[in-house]
C-alpha cells in the first residue's frame, strides 16, 4: 500500500493552521456526573520533584513550573512519545524533538528526530541518552519475543534492547477491500494475550497483526470514534486484564473522549471528558495552564492498568511558536488513580430481578480493602448507572483473608446486554476516588473475529458463482457459522446465497464459494452485504460495491 501517512498529516495541519480552537458543546447530562464518572477524574496532582522556577521558557500561563517533570530544555522542542519500564528498573521515554531555533519554529516538527531518554522514576526528569532516528509521533511497544518496536509515521524501528541499536523498516498494510479511514498516521498499538496486535489508525479504523510486525489487516468498515462533530487525532489504545481502552482527542475542540471494548472491534463511548486543558496541578495546588494537551500515552503496570499519562504540551498556538522566542513545547507526566482489582462472585447472570450481588475487592500493595474503603459510598453496576450516582448499594461486608467481600442490594444495577463489564465506584476512607472494573462471568471474552473481503462474482450458465475470502482475526478457532449474502434492490436487500462456514483458526483465511440463481448483468455494479452470525448470535455485516467482470 502506498505510504501517505506523513503527507496526509502535513496537509491536515496546513489546512487548519489558522483555526486551531473552537468551543464544543457537551451533553447536558454530563453536568450530573459524579466524581469518577469521567476518565478525567482519574488525574492526580503532580508531585513536585524540584522547586518550580520562572527562569525558563514559556508564557506567564506556564510559569513558574517544575522543569524536572517529563522532559524539556531551552535548545529543543519536544513532542509526543511514551514510556516503557525496563528490566533495569528504569523508565525509558521515546520522544521526538527538533531545535527550538529552527527557521520554521514549531512547524519544524515534520523534520523531527526520535530520541531515547531515561529516568529513575516515572515522573522525571528524563535525560536524553541517544538518538534513535528521524520520525514523528513515536510509540514504543514490546513484542512477544521480548524485542521492541518504536512506531513512527510511515515506518518503525526494531531492536532486541531498549537501548538499541535500532533498525528501520516499514509496515505492510492490507486494507482488505475497505477504504482506509483518514490515512495511516498517528497509529497506536495494543498487544493481545497470544502475542498478536490490535492497532487503531488516526481515523478510527481497527487493524490486526499476527505478531506486531507482519502485515496489519483492516477489519473496520467505518470509524469507531464517537458519533460527534470532531476533528479527531492522537488515539491511544491499551489493554488491561479486563478490557480494551482508548482515548481519542478532538484537537480542534480541545476535548478528548474515552472508549472501552470487549474485543477491540466494537467500542462503547463512555460519559464525560477524557481530558482537556487544565490538568496540570501540583500537589500544593499551583496550576500550570498549558494551552494544548496532545499525543496522550499511558504507562501501564503488570495488569495493564494505566498509572501515568504523558502528554505533549505547548504554551501557545502552534504557529505562534517562533524560532528563538519564549515559546516551546515539552512532554509532561501526570499520575493517574489506578483502578482496583475486583471480581464478581457467582456465575449466574445478573438481571433487574437479581436481589443480591457479591463482589470481591482484592488487597494489593498500598491498598487494604479492610480499612481503605468508605463502604457507604460504594455503587456497583453498569457504568451508565454508577457514573451518575446510581447502581447498587452495599449492604454487608466480610473479610476473606486480606481481601474483602462486599454484598450489594441488586436493585438498580442497570446491567444489560450492552454491558460487558461491571463498574465499582466510590471513595476511599480518605475521601479519594475509588473505582474498578470486573468481567461478567456469563460473557465470552475470546471470540472469533471473522472478517470478509469483497466478494468476486463469476457468471455461470444459470446464475453466478460468488467467491469470498474470510479471515479470522480472533484469538480462538471459530465453530461452524452461518453466512448469508444479500444484494441491494430498489426496495431493500434480497438474500441470494447462504452457506455454513467451517471452523477457522486464528489468522487463518479460507475462500468460500457460493452459488446463486440471481442474474447479474456483466459490467454492472452491485451492492452486496455479507452477514456472519457470530458465536453469541450477534450478526456482523459488511457491505461492498462489486463490479461484475
Summarised one tens digit per residue, pLDDT across range 122-136 is 999 999 999 999 999
Q: Mind spelling out the 3-state secondary structure of 431-492?
A: CCEEEEEEECCCCCCCCCCEEECCCEEEECCCCEEEEEEEEECCCCCCCCEEEEEEEEECCE
Calculate the average pLDDT of the chain. 93
Instruction: Match 456472519 to its residue by C-alpha cell.
Output: 532
pLDDT tens, residue by residue, 378-403: 999 999 999 999 999 999 999 999 99
Q: With bands split at pLDDT 50, 70 and 90, how would you rate the model's confidence at 549?
A: confident
In this structure, is the dihedral angle defined by the CA atoms of residues 108, 109, 113 and 118, taken in order, positive or negative?
Answer: positive
Burial of 456 per CB tally in 10 Å (0-12, 13-18, 19+):
middle
pLDDT tens, residue by residue, 66-82: 999 999 999 999 999 99
C-alpha cell at 128: 536524553
Q: With bands split at pLDDT 50, 70 and 90, how would you rate the model's confidence at 459?
A: confident
pLDDT tens, residue by residue, 469-512: 999 999 999 998 899 999 999 889 999 999 998 999 999 999 99
Residues 6 or more apart in contact with residue 482 via CB below 8 angstroms: 498, 499, 500, 501, 532, 533
Q: Mind spelling out the 3-state secondary structure of 250-313?
A: ECCCCEEEEEEECCCCCEEECCCCCCCCCCCEECCCCECCCCEEEEEEEEECCCCCEEEEEEEE
Q: How many residues does the chain have?
A: 549
The closest of 263, 266, 268 to 242, measured between CA atoms, is 263
C-alpha cell at 469: 475470502
Strands 329-335 and 91-99: unpaired
Architecture of domain 342-439: Sandwich (2.60)
Q: CATH for 450-547, among 2.60.40.10, 3.30.565.10, 3.90.1150.10, 2.70.98.10?
A: 2.60.40.10
Return the CA Rg of the chain.
Answer: 25
Residue 483: half-sphere exposure toward Cβ, Cα within 13 Å = 27
Q: With bands split at pLDDT 50, 70 and 90, how would you rate the model's confidence at 1?
A: very low
The closest of 299, 303, 330, 329 to 316, measured between CA atoms, is 329
Rounded distance between C-alpha atoms, residue 230 and residue 223, angstroms? 12
Tell me the β-bridge partners of 445: none
pLDDT of residue 5: 59
Q: With bands split at pLDDT 50, 70 and 90, how would you rate the model's confidence at 540?
A: confident
Rounded distance between C-alpha atoms, residue 500 and residue 538, angstroms? 16
CATH 2.115.10.20, the chain: domain bounds: 5-11+27-335
Contact present, 354 and 410 (Cβ < 8 Å): yes
pLDDT of residue 22: 74
Contact present, 373 and 359 (Cβ < 8 Å): no
pLDDT tens, residue by residue, 11-35: 445 444 444 567 788 889 999 999 9
pLDDT tens, residue by residue, 148-186: 999 999 999 999 999 999 999 999 999 999 999 888 989
CATH 2.60.40.10, the chain: domain bounds: 450-547
Rounded distance between C-alpha atoms, residue 501 and residue 532, angstroms? 9
Rounded distance between C-alpha atoms, residue 541 and residue 528, angstroms? 10
Mean pLDDT in residue range 425-437: 98
Does residue 9 register a pLDDT over 90? no
Rounded distance between C-alpha atoms, residue 408 and residue 394, angstroms? 4
CATH number of 5-11+27-335: 2.115.10.20
- Three-state DSSP at 400 gives strand
In this structure, is the dihedral angle defined by the CA atoms of residues 488, 492, 498 and 500, taken in order, positive or negative?
Answer: positive
Amino acid at each position: 500500500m502506498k505510504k501517505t501517512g506523513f503527507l496526509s498529516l502535513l496537509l491536515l495541519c496546513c489546512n487548519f493552521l489558522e483555526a486551531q480552537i473552537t468551543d464544543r458543546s457537551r451533553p447536558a447530562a454530563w453536568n450530573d456526573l459524579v466524581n469518577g464518572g469521567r476518565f478525567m477524574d482519574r488525574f492526580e496532582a503532580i508531585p513536585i520533584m524540584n522547586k518550580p522556577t520562572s527562569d525558563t521558557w514559556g508564557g506567564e500561563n506556564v510559569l513558574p513550573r517544575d522543569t524536572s517533570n517529563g522532559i524539556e530544555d531551552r535548545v529543543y522542542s519536544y513532542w509526543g512519545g511514551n514510556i516503557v519500564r525496563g528490566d533495569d528498573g528504569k523508565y525509558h521515554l521515546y520522544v521526538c524533538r527538533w531545535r527550538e531555533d529552527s527557521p520554521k519554529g514549531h512547524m519544524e516538527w515534520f523534520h523531527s528526530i526520535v530520541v531515547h531518554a531515561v529516568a529513575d522514576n516515572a515522573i522525571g526528569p528524563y535525560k536524553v541518552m541517544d538518538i534513535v532516528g528521524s520520525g514523528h509521533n513515536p510509540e514504543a511497544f514490546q513484542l512477544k519475543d521480548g524485542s521492541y518496536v518504536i512506531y513512527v509515521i510511515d515506518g518503525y524501528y526494531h531492536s532486541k534492547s531498549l537501548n538499541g541499536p535500532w533498525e528501520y523498516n516499514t509496515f505492510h498494510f492490507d486494507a482488505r477491500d475497505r477504504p482506509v479511514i483518514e490515512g495511516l498516521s498517528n497509529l497506536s498499538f495494543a498487544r493481545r494475550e497470544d502475542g498478536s496486535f490490535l492497532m487503531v489508525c488516526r481515523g478510527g479504523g481497527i487493524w490486526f497483526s499476527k505478531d506486531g510486525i507482519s502485515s496489519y489487516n483492516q477489519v473496520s468498515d467505518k470509524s469507531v470514534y464517537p458519533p460527534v462533530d470532531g476533528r479527531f487525532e492522537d488515539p491511544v489504545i491499551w489493554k488491561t486484564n479486563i478490557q480494551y481502552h482508548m482515548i481519542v482527542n478532538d484537537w480542534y475542540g480541545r476535548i478528548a473522549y474515552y472508549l472501552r471494548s470487549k474485543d477491540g472491534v466494537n467500542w462503547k463511548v463512555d460519559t464525560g471528558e477524557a481530558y482537556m486543558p487544565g490538568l496540570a496541578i501540583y500537589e500544593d495546588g499551583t496550576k500550570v495552564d498549558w494551552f494544548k494537551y496532545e499525543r496522550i500515552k499511558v504507562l501501564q503496570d503488570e495488569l495493564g492498568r494505566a498509572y501515568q499519562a504523558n502528554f505533549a504540551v505547548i504554551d501557545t498556538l502552534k504557529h505562534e511558536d517562533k524560532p528563538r522566542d519564549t515559546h516551546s513545547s515539552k512532554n509532561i507526566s501526570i499520575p493517574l488513580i489506578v483502578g482496583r482489582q475486583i471480581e464478581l462472585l457467582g456465575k449466574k447472570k445478573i438481571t433487574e430481578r437479581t436481589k443480591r450481588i457479591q463482589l470481591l475487592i482484592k488487597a494489593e500493595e498500598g491498598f487494604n480493602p479492610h480499612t481503605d474503603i468508605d463502604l457507604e459510598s460504594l455503587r456497583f453496576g453498569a457504568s451508565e448507572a454508577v457514573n451518575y450516582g446510581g447502581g447498587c448499594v452495599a449492604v454487608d461486608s466480610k473479610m476473606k483473608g486480606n481481601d474483602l467481600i462486599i454484598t450489594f442490594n441488586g436493585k438498580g444495577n442497570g446491567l444489560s446486554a450492552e454491558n460487558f463489564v461491571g463498574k465499582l465506584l466510590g471513595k476511599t476512607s480518605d475521601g479519594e476516588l475509588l473505582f474498578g472494573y470486573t468481567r461478567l462471568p456469563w460473557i465470552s471474552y475470546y471470540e472469533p473475529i471473522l472478517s470478509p473481503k469483497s466478494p468476486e462474482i463469476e457468471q455461470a450458465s444459470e446464475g453466478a458463482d460468488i467467491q469470498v475470502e474470510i479471515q479470522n482475526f480472533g484469538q480462538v478457532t471459530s465453530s461452524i457459522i452461518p453466512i448469508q449474502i444479500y444484494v441491494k434492490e430498489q426496495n431493500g436487500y434480497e438474500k441470494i446465497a447462504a452457506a455454513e462456514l467451517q471452523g477457522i483458526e486464528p489468522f487463518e483465511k479460507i475462500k468460500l464459494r457460493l452459488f446463486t440463481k440471481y442474474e447479474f448483468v456483466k459490467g454492472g455494479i452491485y451492492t452486496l452485504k455479507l452477514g456472519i452470525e457470530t458465536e453469541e448470535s450477534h450478526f456482523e455485516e459488511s457491505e461492498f460495491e462489486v463490479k461484475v467482470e
